[in-house]
Every structure is written in structure tokens, then in C-alpha cells.
Amino acid sequence: MDQNNLPTVAIVGRPNVGKSALFNAILRKRLSIVHEQSGVTRDCVASPAEYKGKSFLLVDTGGLGTWNGDKKIDLFDGMIRDQVTEVLQEASCLIWVVNCLEGITPQDEEVGAFLRKSGKPLILCCNKADNKDLIQAVPALFGPLGVKEMHPTTCTHTHGIEDLLKGVASHLPEVEVTPEAEKPLRIAVVGRPNVGKSSLVNALLGENRMMVSDIAGTTRDSVDLPLVLHKKDGEELKITLVDTAGLRRKGQISTVVEFFSANRTELAIRSSDMVLFVLDSQEPCTTQERHIGRIISDARRPCIMLANKWDIIINEGNNKPKLFEDFVRNRMPYMAHAPILNISAKSGYNLESLFDHLKMVKDQMKVTVPTAVFNQFLQDILRRNPPSSVSNKRFKIFYGTMVHNPPPKFVLFVNDKKLCPKNYENYLENRLREAFFPQSGLPINLELRSREDPEGGNQGARAAAAGVHLKEHRYHPVSRKK
């Protein structure tokens, strides 16, 4: 479905009343980080949801802190306030969450005064109503807030969620939801803390959707952001950006929240279609960046490396892209498949080139190599550069086939995979990339399968070929029609 056309339902309230728990309970999956620590959620987390045929975009917002201008406002409180203000302007309905165990607090009263000014339909979610006494006490506890619709809930047992959603659905406009012709690319934006990931996301969105500060660890959740990129000639590219928390070294993770943030980031990498790996061009290839590169490489994700803050490099007179690329390639050889683009998220330098890179990777993700073409390629490679012998035995390739893409996976049926030197396997991967996926950002997955009968001579080759035909039959069910 096209998330850009869905009505928005925003979950709002002061910190630590259970907004993220409610968000997860409605979606029936753990998407937002939930912890007893106050102020865990900072950026708005959004996900499409549905209730009895009505689709909407559910948004979990950060806890609203101090609103009174005469009081000292924390840095993150101010940023959260600005984000919530933008969300309220787009929302069709607001779910205001309060805590039954604490009743009405001065913060609740200030939040309520602000929400009423928006003029949007307001539903009061009286959370943490874990027993009958609390449920019965809800009207008396929260009646002074002046909200007509009140629903006691407990997210642990999902009690009251059904009634709450009925109330929400009554305020939503009817929207015709049409399936998208093509699923948007899911792109994870990753990197170590404070390299400019959220600044990049904001630059692509054209709005300050993600909080940006010089404090490492500002972003905690992995946040999905639907977006349509436009080129000057009118070409469009639908994507979903996933802004992630900066990955620290394990020894530097000091809180449970940081631990969950790191896990969410690694999950975002594994579940993405593509990764934008943001480097700090002033201090590239640190130990942590090399570790992140390893995670991306091991996950076999298509990747584009973005050297951010390049405007500073230019101003310092050190603008030598070739030297920079050689340094990165030398320090992270396992990321040789990923093109490097020098950008500045702050000034917008070279961001227009990102569209072409994304489009190129997307097109390469659709490439298939016919078995006949692949085997002719293998014959040419073996003829020009045969592998060296190991213990007077030579490595032989009988047959090969492409299994799937992305990432491109090729299976080679060989006499004995132990006879293949590692450098020759790397050579085959590099030649495959040059021949079929040049500068694509796609890693090549090469699997070697030894024949089962070491004494079988050519029988092993015939068995391997038969296995390939059977596998092709399985991967292409259309061919089974007879």
C-alpha cells in the first residue's frame, strides 16, 4: 500500500506512560523500544496499521517534556516538541496516553492544553489499568481533563485495545487503498554515531523529520520513512529509508537501551534490500566502521558507501577523491563491491548523484545470468587463467548456475572444493562482478559443491548437471506446466 496516502494516527503524551508499548500492542509486533527508563523514544516511529478494513499510519512520538516557556527545556525535549508539532498538523486523530497508576500530573495538564489547540479529534488512552478497581476509577481519575472518549487499557494483556481502535476508526476518513505496482526499496542508513545519518535522511526528505545533534546516540530506534525521490527529468524512485541508531563497539554499550538499539540496527541491515553506509570523511575507517562493514558484508547486502562531510574536506583543500577511495579500499577490502560517493548532507553537495546510484543498484538487482551464458563465461575464465595445482591435484569446475538475485548467488559443481585456493575463489568473484554486475554495489555469493563420488569420473559431472536442471526446475515453477 502507498503509505503517503494513509490517514495518520499519532500516539502522544508525556514520557513513560506506555506510548511505545501501546504502539507495539496495536501493531502486534515489537517495533518501538520499550523500557522503564524515561524518554527512550526520541524520533517518531511510524508503521502502517489496519483495523477492520480501515488502514492508517500509526506514529509513536517521543515523550513531551516541559512545555512552559518559563522553565528550562532540555535539548531533546525541544526537538521532540518540534517533531510532535509537525505530526499533529498531518494527523487525522490523536491518541493521548496517560498513566492510571499516577493519575493527572502537571505535565499531563500542559500536554492536554497543547493538544486541544490542534483542534484534532482526541481519544484518551488510560494506560496501565491492570485491575478492575483501576478500570472503574478511570472516569473519576481523568474526567477533569475534559476528554469525552476515554478507554482504559493494559498493553501487557492487550485489554481495551479493541475498544480503543473502534474509537480511532470512527474518526478516520475513508481512503481507497490500492496495492503498489512495485514494492519500494527498503534502504537501511547505517554508520557509527554522529557521522550524519539523520542529517542525510532529513536532506533526502526535505524536512527535519529526524532529530540531529552533536551528541552521539541521539537516534535510538530504527525508523521507517517512506519517500519518493524525484529526478529533474521526472523519473521517480519509491524507497523506504530506515534511519538507524549509530553502532558502537560492544565495550562502549553501557545501557540496556543502547543494547536494544544496536540489535535493531543489525536487524535493519539483515532485513533491508540495500544499505547506505555513511562514513565520516574526516576520520574514515575507524575500528568501529570496519566492524560495521563486516556486518554488512556478512549479511550479503547490496551497499553504497557515502563519505559524508566532504564539504569540510573541500574547504580544507584536501579534495582528493582517488586517494580517499584507495585508503578505504585498502582498509576495508571486503567492501570492494560497494561504490563510494562523496557527499555533504548539510550542504547538499553531490546528493543528486545518489539517485543514479540507487537506480543502478536497483536495476542490477533484477539481473539474471542464463546458465548457458554463465558456463561459457566459466570456460573462458578457466582457459585464460586455470587454477594452480594443490598436492598434484587440480581444481576442476564441471558446471555452474545462478541461483538467485539479490544478492547474486552462483553455485559451482566441482571435483573437490578443498582444492580451490582462496585467492582463486576471490578471482572468480571479481571476474563475475566485472562481467555481470559492474560498479553495482552487489556482493557476489559463490558456493562450491563437491561431487559426491570421488571415483566416479565423469559420472560426477553428469550428476551435477542433472542436479542443476532439477534445481532450475524448482526455482522456475512455470516450466513445470505440461
Query: Do 360 and 375 fall within a single domain?
Result: no
Q: Could you give the CA distance from residue 43 to residue 144 in angstroms, rounded to a whole number?
A: 30
Residues 6+ apart with CB under 8 A from 348: 203
Three cell numbers written together for 127: 494506560
* The model's pTM: 0.58
Choose the weakest-confidence range: 77-81, 294-298, 388-392: 77-81
Nearest of 288, 267, 277 to residue 222 by alpha carbon = 267
pLDDT band at 288 (very low <50, low <70, confident <90, very high): confident
Is the distance from CB of 19 to CB of 186 less than 8 angstroms?
no
Q: What is the pLDDT of residue 249?
A: 52
Full DSSP string of 8-50: EEEEE-STTSSHHHHHHHHHTS--S---SSTT---S-EEEEEE
Cell of 370: 542464463
Cis peptide before 406 (omega within 30 of 0): yes
For position 427, which CATH number holds? 3.30.300.20
Put residue 284 in one of left, alpha, beta given phi > 0 → left and psi -120 to 50 → alpha.
beta
Provide the 3-class DSSP secondary structure of residue 116: helix
* 9, part of any domain: yes
Does one domain contain both 278 and 149? no
User: What mean pLDDT is predicted for residues 403-407?
Assistant: 86
pLDDT value of residue 79: 59
Q: Region 448-469: what's the mean pLDDT?
A: 53
Q: What gap in Å lies between CA 308 and CA 196, rounded to an integer?
A: 7
Q: Across residues 446-451, what is the average pLDDT?
A: 88
Kindly report which listed range (136-150, 302-316, 389-403) carries the lowest average pLDDT score: 389-403
pLDDT more than 90, % of the chain: 15
Flag whether pLDDT at 149 surpasses 50.
yes
pLDDT of residue 439: 66
Is residue 12 a contact partner of residue 96, using CB atoms and an 8 Å limit?
Answer: yes
CA-to-CA dists, residue 230 to 5, 39, 45, 205, angstroms: 18, 36, 24, 11
pLDDT band at residue 223 using 50, 70 and 90 as cut-offs: low
Residue 133 scores a pLDDT above 50: yes
Same domain assignment for residues 165 and 227: no
pLDDT exceeds cutoff 80 at 322: yes
pLDDT of residue 10 exceeding 80: yes
Q: Looking at per-residue confidence, does 193 or 104 come out higher? A: 104
Domain coverage including residue 242: 185-364
Model confidence pLDDT, tens digit, residues 325-363: 999 999 999 898 899 999 998 888 998 889 888 988 888
**pLDDT for position 410:** 93
Phi-psi region of 317 (alpha: psi -120 to 50; beta: other; left: phi over 0): left
Which residue would you say has higher pLDDT here, 232 or 402? 402
Smallest CA-to-CA distance from 439 within 351, 363, 345, 349 is with: 363
Domain count for the chain, please give it: 3
Average pLDDT of the chain, as a whole number: 77
- Residue 332 pLDDT: 93
Select the more confidently predicted residue: 250 or 140: 140
Q: b/e string for 411-433 if b means 16 or more Cβ within 10 A?
A: bbbbbbeebbeeebbeebbebbb
Residues 66 and 13 in one domain: yes
Same-domain status, 33 and 130: yes
Does position 80 have pLDDT exceeding 80, yes or no? no
Residue 294, domain member (yes or no): yes
Which position has the higher pLDDT, 234 or 80? 234
Q: What percent of the chain has pLDDT over 70?
A: 75
Look at the alpha carbons of 321, 322, 328, 331 in this order and tell me if their dihedral is positive or negative: negative
**Both 202 and 311 in a single domain?**
yes
Give CA–CA dist 294/303, Å, rounded. 12
Residue 179 C-beta-side C-alpha neighbours within 13 Å: 3
Q: Are both 96 and 118 inside the same structural domain?
A: yes
Residue 30's pLDDT is 58
| pLDDT for residue 74 | 43
**If you ran DSSP here, which 8-state letter would residue 127 be given?**
E
Query: Do 376 and 360 share a structural domain?
Result: no
Q: What is the mean pLDDT of residues 195-209?
A: 78
394, three cell numbers:
587440480
Say yes or no: 348 and 379 in one domain.
no
Q: Are residues 45 and 123 in the same domain?
A: yes
429, 410 Cβ separation under 8 angstroms: no
Asked if residue 174 belongs to a domain, the reply is no
The pLDDT of residue 1 is 43
Residue 99: closest CA among 107, 89, 88, 110: 107
Element (H, E) at 225: strand 223-230
The label of the residue with cell 574536506 reads: 313
Within-domain flag for 326: yes
Res 245 pLDDT > 60: yes
CA–CA distance, 218 with 246 (Å, rounded to integer): 9
Query: Given this model, what pLDDT does residue 481 score?
Result: 41
Bond from prior residue into 407 cis (ω within 30 degrees of 0): yes
Residues 375 and 351 occupy one common structural domain: no
pLDDT of residue 182: 65
pLDDT at residue number 287:
86
Residue 277 lies in a domain: yes
Query: Which of 341, 364, 387 is the last residue in one of the domains?
Result: 364
Confidence grade of residue 110 (pLDDT, cut at 50, 70, 90): confident
Please report whether residue 344 resides in a domain.
Answer: yes
Statement to judge: residues 241 and 210 lie in one domain: yes
What is the pLDDT, as a whole number, of residue 320? 84
Structural domain includes residue 178: no
Asked if residue 179 belongs to a domain, the reply is: no
Domain boundary among 169, 196, 217: 169
User: pLDDT, tens digit, for every residue of 25-68?
Assistant: 888 765 543 334 334 344 467 777 888 878 888 888 876 764 44
CA distances from 355 to 190, 210, 237, 338, 378 (A): 18, 21, 8, 15, 34
Residue 253: CATH number of its domain: 3.40.50.300
